[in-house]
Structure formats: C-alpha cells, structure tokens
Structure 1
C-alpha cells in the first residue's frame, strides 16, 4: 500500500473529499501528515491538505489538526485528534476516541464515542449511539438506541426511536421525544424529559430547581432516602412508598413534600407512577437493631450492583475490541453491552421483587421467634453474578457470539 509524507504546521486543516473504503485517522508526528492507501490523491493547500481516496485510507496527523470529511463509504475511526472535526456523511460505523469538538451531519450506521474533550453535535444517526466521557451533547435524531454516561455538560435529544439510557450527567437534560423507554440515573442539572412513549425509570436525587418528567406509560422513581423533594404526580394509578411530610391526594393526583430544599419535580404518566426509596430495606433489618435477632440479612443480596459490574466488564471488552480490531468488532461488543445491561436490569428487578417477598416472609417468621436463613439465597446470587461475568468473558474470547451470550444471560433469570 503506497505511503506518502507531507510536512505541515502543528495544526493543519485536512479535508477528505471522499473515501470509498474504510478511513482510519490517528495522531502522529507534530508537523507532518502521513497518508497510506491503495488509490489516493493528495493536494497541498495553504493551510494543509485535500485528500481523495478510492479505497481504504490511513492517515497519521499532527494531534492539533482539524478535519473536514465529506463522504466515507466504509467505517471511520478517529483517535487522538484534538482539533475541530466536521463529518458530513458516513455510511459505515463511526468510532471516536479522545477527540476535540465534533459536528456530524449524518451517520448511516452506529456511533461509538468516548473521551470527547469538547462538544458533540449530530443531526442524524441511523443506528445506535454509545457515548462515554463527554461534554456537551446535542443530537437531533437517533433511529436506534442511545446510551450516554459520564457527561460533564448539558444533553439535548430531540427524537430517539429506541431506548434512552443516561447515567451521571452533570448538566441540564432535555429530551423532547423518545419512542421507547428512558432510563435515567444520577442527573445533576435541570431536567425536562417529555414525550416518552414507553416508561421512565429515574434513579438518584435531583439538583435544586424545577424538573419535569412525562411518559405515555409508567414512571418509576427510586428516590434517595431523606433527600428533599417537593413533588406533584398525575396518573391513573399512583403508588407512593416514600416517607412524605405533607401529602395531598386528589383524583388521579398526589402532591407531597420531603424535607426542606429547593428541588421540585412534576411527574405525569398515562400508566402508573411508582415512588419508592432507593434502599428498599429498612436499616434496622440490615443491622439487626431494634429486634432480638442475631443475623444480618440484606434482602437485595447485592444484586443491585450486577448491572454496574457487568457494564464495567463489558466496557473494558468494548475498549479492547476498539483498540485491537476496529469498529466492526467494537459494534459487536457494544451490542453485547446493551443487551447484557438490559438483562441485568431485568435480573435486578426480579431480585427486588424476591427481596420484598423474602422481607415479608422473614417478618412473619420473626413473629414466631425464629429468623430466616439467607445463606442459600446469597450463594445463589453470588453464583449468578459469577456466571454472568464468565459469559461476558466468553464473548471477548470469541467462544460464543453476543446473541448466544444474551440467551445465556436471560436463562440465568429463570
């Protein structure tokens, strides 16, 4: 594959008019551009280079280079380029790692992005999107699922056709329309989440200010015990398991206040609204205080952390796939991550229901002067967790496919 080198400044402007194959761009020398491909032309300009390729292309650029890419017919990988990046139309997958500000018109497949140092603005993604460790995010349309974590800035989503998953966002969140479920956790700004056709699941406290959540189906809130909240809920069925200071019940409505603070939330659903504490177990049951019992029994069995552990494991695998094999393997790993997280969430919900049932049974037994035995349940939970992690390692080694892994993960729940 022919290779040419062009000496430039530290921050050249690189334009790719077209690449008919895959395009891989990485950082290289401080003041030189290396171009490697089967059939390309490169024209030097006053500010940098203009490149056209009829096949696969690999570029090594100065880290501070800026990029303007018009059309890529295959996959696109960009790593360690901190200048501004503009993408017009990419037909394959897009992988972005440790890059600066990114503006994208259209991705016709999936997006995997992590360690973004500036804003991410996208008009259309026709596949799934997975974003980790980023700043401001603004996306008009996602035709698949969207997952974003560790976002240090605002998130604005106009229309997502699949599931939405946001975790740890230190900025305002605006979701105008979501055609399926929205899973929200650890939101640190002001939230306006409306037009959700499926369920909203909210976990963790909210910042001071006024928040709005609206769903066509259910809204399930897991609120930190004792955290201040002034709330208003409107739905055909409302289940409140929070300890509320002031409660006013009306027809299909409930308002209440917890503690003193400036956090206010409005919940509107056409299905159910369920309000409950993050910790479903009374502390005295976990510590044994208040009763003549000498056992320590956690009804959650530690299963609440399985999703987090699985996510951590699969994210490591995803990163290795991206580094070693490129976007196609990264896409498989991210799909496995999404399905594994969904299976883990179902397992967590099942464990919660079993924990509530076990708590009720234990109280009944305690009234008859003998306590429950948790060893078998804890052992089963531990085994299940270990089995799930083994399955994920099998995906990494190529022993089983992501689809087979999902089947095995689901089987552990039955």
Structure 2
C-alpha cells in the first residue's frame, strides 16, 4: 500500500477514536482524585501558565505574565503537591512546562527542590525560551537539580519567526543560535523544539532549520507538526509526511530517533514524560493527568485555581474514566510513539485488531517480543499523535466552559 495513504488512514483512525473518547460523558464539579496504594513510578507535570508574549499558534493554557501572582501561584502548586503526596503518590520524573516557567527562575528552582524533598525525583526537565538562556538562569536551574532544558525555538527562519509572532519577543534566528551556543556545556541537556508543516513554511526553510541543528552543540531536537488552534484544519497528511521525511533524512547519522518526532545525539535521551511513564499527574492551572484509569483536568483560570487550593480542595474540574479498551488503545499509541510495544503491555490473547491493521499497512513489524515501528510507521505515529493532541485541544475547550470565568486565553509561548 502507498505509504502516504497508510499514514493518512492511521491519522484518521486516531482522530476518530480520540474524538469519541473525549465526547463521552464525564464527571464535573471537582471530582475526587483517587488514592494510590501501589509503589509504581509515575511522572509529575507542573504547569506554569505565565508568558511574556502570547503566540497565536499555541493552544496550551497560558496568560500574560503577572509578577504579583507569581509567589501566590507557586505556593498553591506546593499545596497541590502536598495533597498528592498525602494521597500516596510518588514521582521520579518531573517536567515543568507552560507557558514559560522560567519567567520566575527562582520559584522554579524552589519548586524543583521541594519536589525532591517530597519524592525520589531523579530526572527534571524544564521548558524555557531562548531569551532566558542566560548564565544566571542556567546556574539557578542547574544548582536546583534541573537536568534538561527544552527550549522553544520553533524555527531559525526570520520570516517564519515573524509570522509566528516570535521574532520580536524572542529574537531573530541568529540571536537564537548564539543563545544556544552559549548555553551549551553548562551542565544541562539541551533540547530544541522546532515545528514543521507550518503554513507558509517551505521545504527549503525546513532544510535550513535541520542544517542549523546539525551545526549547533545541542543534545536533542524535537520536530512537532503544526497543530491548528481552535477548529482550524491541520495541514494534509501527505504534505506533513513529505516534510517529516526531509527532517528524518537530514538528521540521519548525527541523531538517533528517541520518539516518533524527537531525535537525540545519545540513545538514552527521551523527550516526552507521557512516553516514559504509563501514568502521570498534571498539577497547575489547566493541567491534566492520567491516574488510576482516569484522565483528570484542572480548572484553567489562575484565579479559580488559586481559590480552590486556598480553600483546601484540589482544583480538578473534570474527569473521564478509561474503559479497558480505552486504556489498551492509549497504551498502544504511547508505546508506538516511543518506537515499540511489547506483547506483555497489551495483555493476553490475540493482538488487537488495531495492531493487525497497522501490520497490514506496513506501519509496524512483528517480532517474538512485540511490535516495532517501521520507517513508514514513524511518520504514521507523528500523524497519529497530532490527531490525539488535536482532540486534547477540544477537550481543553470543553473543560474551560465548565466553570464560570474559566474561559482564559488558550495561547502560549510554546507547548
């Protein structure tokens, strides 16, 4: 079968399945977070929604930076962390995103140290922007125990940066390259986030971005496909696939695939916290997590988030319960996003029909241990994850409508 057609089928299947899941009935009105009675390692995501500049392409929960709310917000985050510890949860992987968490580097450093006092955290990643790659910020984060920085660059092309609303806020391509060069060798793993299949982006623009990454002393690069905000349509599967092929071919030999859309110079570096742990808690305004078969979503507006925790209750505004089949499909998607799925991950019996279909499409190859993505499968996984995150964006919009005053701006500096 034609590779582009196979990838389009995968994207359509994931989009339909995710839409049906998120459109089902869900509990609202501050549902309870289930207690934890096991010792399984989990990931912790902390959301800091503050941004210096709001970009039009991002659907993640973000608001303009309000310094007067900073200390109060991080105090609320610590209260939320304490409640999860009281419920019995333990975390060994921490990811802090936004928004742009490093608008308040001292607060980020303190929350990292606090997490280390609560749990056996061994891996810490923080999202940032190029203008925060200063010696002072890098030193503060490194000394607090941060291991990895994920830098929102999106592109090195000045025309595209201007179109994305980032050139004025975060600098031109040359300035960004200089900031990354100066940040290298400072004791932190550097990941660069870039986008492809952006409206107006040519193949030549993308190839120049790939060539720039090859010259920079960074440890990892993540190429996200453009995801249209709101109800806008995503670029075609065929066009997206052709551009991703250019990325993969350009990076081959210098970078190893870490996830479907992430590439590392070392084989042991992985970008996504949702790919390294089966369950994760999402704390902070507008965060969501997956715990005990439930997708839990926090209230979005910062004032509502603060009110809930200052009143002594967790700020969860909605939950969706996974059926056994939901969980199998989610596990399959996330495992294949990482590159392979073991038979034991899917339970006993014959492989699910989804895997049979993926095999016939040439997306996975079978082995005695399980199934692995083919090269065609990597492109299909990128499109499948784009479909999943697009459905998540719709879920976010539905959750914002549940609480009066929660219809906050859904644009941010980066994921």
Q: TM-score, normalised by structure 2?
A: 0.27
Q: Which has the higher helix share?
A: 2
Q: Which has the higher strand share?
A: 1
RCO higher in structure (CA 8 A, sep ≥6): 2
Q: TM-score, normalised by structure 1?
A: 0.28
| Higher Cα Rg, which structure | 1
